[in-house]
């Protein structure tokens, strides 16, 4: 295999492209990102743990492939050797993120992923000092989880600097990819999460409901344990945070019933059964479906006096935004020198990141 820098043509001259990798490139979202990257003239190395799938995809795109399993720490470090950046797309990230972060620290490669899992964001924050020493960026959540809501949070903090409470939410009709569905199954067993007085606390599923106009009419909404419970705090310092999505009364009732079955849902047998079923039945939305289904993102910040600011933005479908958002961050790091450390997307690039992505409207604050 060739480990040296790639070269590409840009504005009539040859430029050197820092070697970088997409791990989990044969998954639903990883493959979408790989194909878009090639369309932009980028040449990522494609990697994963299944040789036949990786080599076939890489050959079809004219790219190089590497095969290694994240369960083997030594093999993982060898697998990312020579890379300047890794975009990690193989979930569930609760199991895969930490070993890939460790390997990136060891070889001094920037780490990015597309997770929405609170535990991954919290782990990344513990690596702040190590990332500074290694002079690498550690920035999970560079997809729909959590670019739009993180940018909304940052914009609301700027609009109301003394905010004490932040509520975020989104109305998305994207459907599930296999990886997202598996992560959701794990989340059911872990219950709900909110941030209260600066601390993440566990709460029941469907802990609260309220009516919210996300930008497409007022709807019943329910709390979910979204990544912003971690990232929005890192971005803004606001100590009380909740995240909502629309939910029918029937959905709320199902979630509340699930609270009584967490012990069962969390067993290895139940998790394996549900994940195998997902592998057989869930394929991810088609291109036509993605194009037809935008997302509405909303946020509300309140201070101790009761002053309030509300933000809304319409974006592309969640999976489409993950593709363009992840590549926007990749291209930013390939083109710019950034001090090492642990980042959120809005802290790394700024709250205008979401407005620069295809399909996004203006970020409006009232």
CA quadruple 116, 304, 210, 159: dihedral, nearest 10: -60
Judge whether 136 and 111 are in contact, CB under 8 Å: yes
| Residues 151 and 92 both lie in one domain | no
Q: For residue 264, is pLDDT > 80?
A: no
Residue 113 is encoded by which pair of tokens?
Answer: 């992923």
In terms of pLDDT, which residue wins out, 258 or 353? 353
Task: Report the predicted TM-score, pTM, of the whole model to 2 decimal places.
Answer: 0.90
β-strands 308-315, 45-48 pairing: unpaired
The length of the chain is 366
Cα angle 208, 150, 116; round to 5:
70
Domain that holds residue 278: 147-318
Q: Quick one: pLDDT at residue 266?
A: 66
Q: Which residues contact 143 (CB under 8 A, 6 or more apart)?
A: 29, 114, 116, 318, 321, 322, 323, 325, 326
Task: Give the mean pLDDT of 44-49.
Answer: 97
Residue 188: inside a domain = yes
Q: What is the pLDDT of residues 280-300, one digit of tens each?
A: 665 666 777 777 789 999 999
**Same domain? 190 vs 268:** yes
**What is the phi/psi pair of residue 343, to 5°?**
-130, 160
Identify the pLDDT of residue 289.
74
What whole-number percentage of the chain has pLDDT above 70? 86
Alpha-carbon gap, residue 142 to 89, rounded angstroms: 10
What average pLDDT does range 182-202 have in this prediction? 81
Residue 355 lies in a domain: no
41 token code pair: 């003239």
pLDDT at 204 over 60: yes
- Above 90 in pLDDT, residue 174? no
Mean pLDDT of the chain: 89
Looking at the structure, do residues 109 and 151 belong to the same domain, yes or no?
no
Q: Is residue 41 part of a domain?
A: yes
The reply to whether 74 and 101 lie within a common domain is yes
pLDDT digits over 90-116, tens only? 988 999 999 999 999 999 999 999 999
pLDDT at 171: 93
Task: CATH number of the domain at 170, please.
Answer: 3.30.360.10
Q: Are residues 166 and 303 in the same domain?
A: yes
List strands edge to edge, sheet with 65-67: 65-67, 45-48, 20-23, 85-88, 110-113, 137-139, 341-342
Shared domain check, 220 and 240: yes
From the list 89, 148, 76, 80, the residue with the least C-alpha distance to 108 is 80
Residue 361 maps to a domain: no
pLDDT band at 2 (very low <50, low <70, confident <90, very high): very low
Distance from C-alpha of 159 to C-alpha of 202, rounded to nearest angstrom: 29
CB 355 within 8 A of CB 152: no
Do 21 and 114 sit in the same domain of this protein?
A: yes
Residue whose structure tokens are 């509520």:
167
Q: What is the pLDDT of residue 281?
A: 66
- Same structural domain, 162 and 310: yes
pLDDT tens per residue, range 111-164: 999 999 999 999 999 999 999 999 999 999 999 989 999 999 999 999 999 999
Q: What is the pLDDT of residues 62-77, one digit of tens each?
A: 999 999 999 999 999 9
* Tokens describing residue 9: 């043509």
For residues 180 and 299, the model is more confident at: 299
| Per-residue pLDDT at 263 | 60
* 240 falls within a domain: yes
- Does residue 247 have a pLDDT over 70? yes
Provide mean pLDDT across the span 234-256: 93
Examine the domain organization and report whether 312 and 344 are in the same domain: no
Decide if pLDDT at 273 tops 90.
Answer: no
Task: Look up tokens 């203006």; give the residue.
Answer: 362
Decide if 357 is inside a domain: no
CB-based contacts of 170: which residues, under 8 Å, 6+ apart?
148, 149, 214, 245, 295, 296, 297, 298
Within-domain flag for 66: yes
Residue 20: exposed, middle, or buried by beta-carbon count in 10 A (0-12, 13-18, 19+)?
buried
Q: Are residues 242 and 104 in the same domain?
A: no
* Total of domains in the chain: 2
Same domain, 170 and 221: yes
Q: Say yes or no: 169 and 307 in one domain.
A: yes
Check which CATH number belongs to the domain holding 102 and give it: 3.40.50.720
Q: Is residue 23 included in any domain, yes or no?
A: yes
Tell which of 301, 318, 335 closes a domain. Answer: 318
């Amino acid at each position: 295999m060739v480990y040296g820098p790639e070269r590409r043509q840009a504005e009539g001259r040859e430029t050197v492209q820092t070697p970088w990798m997409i791990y989990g490139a044969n998954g639903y979202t990883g493959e979408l990102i790989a194909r878009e990257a090639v369309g932009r003239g980028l040449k990522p190395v494609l990697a994963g743990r299944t040789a036949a799938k990786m080599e076939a995809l890489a050959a079809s795109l004219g790219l190089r492939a590497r095969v290694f399993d994240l369960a083997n720490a030594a093999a993982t470090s060898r697998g990312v050797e020579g890379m300047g950046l890794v975009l990690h797309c193989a979930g569930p990230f609760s199991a895969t993120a930490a070993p890939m972060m460790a390997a990136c620290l060891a070889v001094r490669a920037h780490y990015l992923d597309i997770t929405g899992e609170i535990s991954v964001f919290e782990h990344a924050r513990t690596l702040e000092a190590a990332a500074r020493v290694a002079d690498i960026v550690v920035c999970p959540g560079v997809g729909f989880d959590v670019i739009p809501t993180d940018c909304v949070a940052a914009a609301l903090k700027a609009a109301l600097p003394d905010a004490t409470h932040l509520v975020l939410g989104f109305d998305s009709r994207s459907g599930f990819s296999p990886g997202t569905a598996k992560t959701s199954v794990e989340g059911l067993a872990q219950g709900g999460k909110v941030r209260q007085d600066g601390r993440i606390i566990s709460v029941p599923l469907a802990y609260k409901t309220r009516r919210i106009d996300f930008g497409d009419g007022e709807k019943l909404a329910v709390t979910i344990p979204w990544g912003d419970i971690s990232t929005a705090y890192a971005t803004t310092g606001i100590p009380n945070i909740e995240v909502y999505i629309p939910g029918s009364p029937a959905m709320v009732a199902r979630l509340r019933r699930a609270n009584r079955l967490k012990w069962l849902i969390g067993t290895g047998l139940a998790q394996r059964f549900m994940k195998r079923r997902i592998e057989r039945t869930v394929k991810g939305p088609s291109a036509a479906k993605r194009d037809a289904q935008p997302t509405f993102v909303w946020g509300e910040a309140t201070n101790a006096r009761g002053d309030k600011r509300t933000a809304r933005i319409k974006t592309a479908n969640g999976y489409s935004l993950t593709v363009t958002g992840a590549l926007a961050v990749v291209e930013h790091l390939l083109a710019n020198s950034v001090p090492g450390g642990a980042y959120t997307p809005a802290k790394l690039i700024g709250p205008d990141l979401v407005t620069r992505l295809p399909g996004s409207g203006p970020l409006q604050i009232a």
